[in-house]
Amino acid sequence: MSQKTTSEGKIQGKSINSIPLKTAQKWAKRWTKREGNYNKHHHVNAFLIPKVDLLEVLAEGVDAVRAYIGVDDEGVEKLMIVGTKFNPETGIYVDMITVGVGNSAGGEDNIYDFTEPCPPASDPESPLNS
């Protein structure tokens, strides 16, 4: 990578692993359209989540994190991570998506994903792999 990464996991003020809202919406729609049922993805039993994704979403001052499931343009299952803030009036954790900021290529919408499905990114010795 030619750009300098700061200790906060940013590249010159940009989040490292954020994706545009339009991309996230397309991936989520593809997941529900293609399968419509999580249990149909028998070969995916986990996701490897890079530390930088977690650090960046936590740095937003979130109350909780929500993970959406999607399928990217290469057919790879993805877990998209979004920070949330609790709204005491509604009792709902509201997604912290900066709608419209990253609707062009390379933009940011505070949706993080460079996850890898497991398998193939599994730990073959994990007691959770059965």
Q: Report the number of distinct structural domains present in the chain.
A: 1
pLDDT score recorded for residue 2: 30
Contact, 97 vs 20, CB < 8 A? no
Cα separation of the two ends of the chain: 37
In a domain, 91, yes or no: yes
In a domain, 6, yes or no: no
pLDDT score recorded for residue 100: 59
What are the average pLDDT values for consecutive 10-residue runs of the chain, which has 130 residues?
36 65 82 58 78 90 92 87 95 86 54 83 78
Which residues form the domain of 88? 46-99+109-123
pLDDT score recorded for residue 8: 41
- Residue 52 φ then ψ, to 5°: -60, -35
In a domain, 5, yes or no: no
In a domain, 25, yes or no: no
In a domain, 9, yes or no: no
pLDDT score recorded for residue 108: 59
Question: Residue 32 belongs to what H/E stretch?
Answer: helix 21-34
pLDDT score recorded for residue 55: 92
CB atoms within 10 A of CB 94: 13
Query: The pTM is what?
Result: 0.68
In a domain, 34, yes or no: no
In a domain, 87, yes or no: yes
Q: Which two tokens stand for residue 7?
A: 């200790």
In a domain, 116, yes or no: yes
SS3 116: strand
